[in-house]
């Protein structure tokens, strides 16, 4: 029981990282843009958030917690949206190939984050932003430790709940509002949307940039809460970014599914550590390596199931991955 509890308590924060990544990418893909730059954007957001709060903490004479959170969020969102803007300009205005531009953005984000990260590290193998971490990881509900159930639900930093709220808002906006309908039309059939007077370019730009801003929060949450406010040069964020892309498929492009899907992915991810514990198995190291493929294999099966059953509401946006040029019709 204790292991199960520990497992869930690990899975939910992990899920939150990729929930942000996936929510942003769902919004982006709904506009027909397949942005493979998610890992790069999460690098940009995570690093900018860390750098912002790190410098605020170290340069300000008496740093204030709320201000620190604000600086981190503002830096993170600005940097991630800038990444999204680069991608948007090249794929929407200049109509370059989306896959290739996305991969270049991943290289870019990873390079920028780690290059400037080395300056902050200044020779150390890692550095920390303790104030930011204490603010982001602070439990916002005082009664969290009452029993196992309250622990599972209430014992996290505020960004965990923001992610869920964002997912609900995204779901509502996409399914229940005019803006959402227009956005989906742009992703399904931009020519039809254009004929209807919807500005395809505006929707694509906004969806991609806002989506990037949200994806970047995943990187911020990873660095400042999940990873205890520690920045180190690793490839970890890249792996998380690709997992977020996988999660988008798993949710069949529906924000509500991202909530439980993300936590389920978190359970899958930590399966190798906790399941043997619970079952009392002793597994060799190579078996745990194999278990790490579970989220990806499950995603493949979802992808296969969706394409086999051909239910209309589960398909990727019709024009996903294609640039739109009015005169090409």
For other proteins (CB under 8 A), the number of binding residues is: 52
Q: Is residue 284 involved in binding other proteins (CB under 8 A)?
A: yes
Burial of 229 per CB tally in 10 Å (0-12, 13-18, 19+): buried
User: What minimum distance in Å lies between the beta carbon of 272 and other proteins?
Assistant: 10
What's the CA gap between 272 and 83, in Å, rounded? 34
Q: Is residue 286 involved in binding other proteins (CB under 8 A)?
A: yes
Among 58, 64, 95, 153, binds other proteins (CB under 8 A): 95
User: What minimum distance in Å lies between the beta carbon of 304 and other proteins?
Assistant: 6
Backbone angles phi, psi at 103, to 5 degrees: -65, -40
3-state secondary structure of 195: helix
What's the CA gap between 204 and 186, in Å, rounded? 8
Q: Is residue 313 involved in binding other proteins (CB under 8 A)?
A: no
| The two three-digit tokens of residue 57, written as one number | 């903490």
Query: With respect to other proteins, which residue has the nearer C-beta, 4 or 306?
Result: 306
User: What minimum distance in Å lies between the beta carbon of 20 and other proteins?
Assistant: 19
CA dihedral 251, 252, 254, 255 (to 10 degrees): 30
What's the CA gap between 141 and 240, in Å, rounded? 28
Q: Is residue 74 involved in binding other proteins (CB under 8 A)?
A: no
| Angle subtended at Cα 23 by Cα 305 and Cα 325, rounded to the nearest 5 degrees | 85
Binding-site string for other proteins from residue 114 to residue 153, where x marks contact by CB under 8 A and - marks none: xx--x-----------------------------------
Q: Is residue 99 involved in binding other proteins (CB under 8 A)?
A: yes
Among 157, 316, 319, 324, binds other proteins (CB under 8 A): 316
Q: Is residue 33 involved in binding other proteins (CB under 8 A)?
A: no
Contact 13, 160 (CB under 8 A): yes
| The two three-digit tokens of residue 219, written as one number | 């990187």
Within residues 248-267, the interface with other proteins by CB under 8 A covers 249
User: What minimum distance in Å lies between the beta carbon of 151 and other proteins?
Assistant: 31
Mention every residue, 6+ apart, whose C-beta is less than 8 A from residue 187.
Answer: 29, 30, 31, 32, 317, 318, 319, 320
Mention every residue, 6+ apart, whose C-beta is less than 8 A from residue 308.
Answer: none
Beta bridge partners of 127: 231
Q: Is residue 289 involved in binding other proteins (CB under 8 A)?
A: yes
Q: Is residue 279 involved in binding other proteins (CB under 8 A)?
A: no
Among 60, 74, 111, 236, binds other proteins (CB under 8 A): 111
Query: With respect to other proteins, which residue has the nearer C-beta, 120 or 179?
Result: 120
Burial of 299 per CB tally in 10 Å (0-12, 13-18, 19+): buried
In the block, tokens 């949450």 appear at: 221
The enclosing H or E element of 45 equals helix 38-59
Q: Is residue 41 involved in binding other proteins (CB under 8 A)?
A: no
Q: Is residue 94 involved in binding other proteins (CB under 8 A)?
A: yes
Q: Is residue 300 involved in binding other proteins (CB under 8 A)?
A: yes
**Contacting residues toward other proteins, per CB under 8 A:** 34, 36, 86, 89-90, 93-97, 99-101, 103-108, 110-112, 114-115, 118, 242, 245-246, 249, 284-287, 289-290, 292-293, 296-297, 299-300, 303-304, 307-308, 310, 316, 320-321, 325, 327-328
């Amino acid at each position: 029981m204790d292991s199960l509890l520990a497992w869930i308590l690990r899975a939910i924060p992990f899920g939150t990282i990729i929930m942000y990544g996936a929510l942003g990418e769902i919004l982006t893909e709904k506009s027909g843009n397949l942005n493979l730059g998610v890992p790069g954007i999460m690098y940009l957001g995570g690093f900018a958030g860390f750098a912002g709060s790190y410098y605020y903490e170290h340069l300000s004479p008496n740093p204030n917690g709320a201000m620190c959170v604000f600086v981190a969020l503002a830096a993170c969102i600005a940097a991630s949206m800038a990444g999204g803007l680069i991608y948007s300009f090249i794929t929407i205005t200049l109509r370059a190939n989306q896959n290739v531009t996305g991969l270049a953005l991943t290289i870019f984000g990873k390079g920028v984050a780690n290059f400037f990260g080395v300056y902050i590290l200044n020779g150390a193998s890692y550095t920390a932003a303790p104030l930011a971490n204490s603010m982001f990881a602070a439990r916002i509900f005082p009664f969290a430790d009452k029993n196992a159930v309250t622990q599972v639900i209430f014992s996290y930093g505020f960004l965990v709940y923001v992610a869920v709220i964002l997912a609900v808002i995204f779901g509502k906006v996409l399914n229940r509002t005019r803006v959402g309908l227009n956005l989906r039309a742009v992703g399904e059939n931009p020519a039809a949307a254009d004929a209807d007077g919807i500005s395809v370019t505006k929707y694509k730009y906004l969806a991609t940039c806002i989506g990037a801003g949200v994806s970047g929060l995943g990187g911020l949450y990873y660095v400042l809460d999940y990873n205890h406010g520690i920045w180190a040069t690793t490839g970890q964020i890249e792996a998380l970014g690709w997992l977020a892309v996988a999660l988008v498929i798993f949710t069949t492009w529906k924000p509500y599914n991202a909530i439980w899907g993300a936590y389920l992915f978190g359970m899958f991810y930590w399966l190798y550590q906790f399941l043997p514990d619970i079952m009392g198995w002793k597994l060799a190291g190579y078996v745990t390596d194999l278990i790490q493929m579970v989220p990806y294999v499950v995603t493949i099966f979802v992808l296969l199931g969706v394409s086999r059953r051909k239910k209309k509401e589960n398909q990727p946006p019709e024009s996903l991955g294609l640039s739109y040029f009015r005169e090409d019709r």
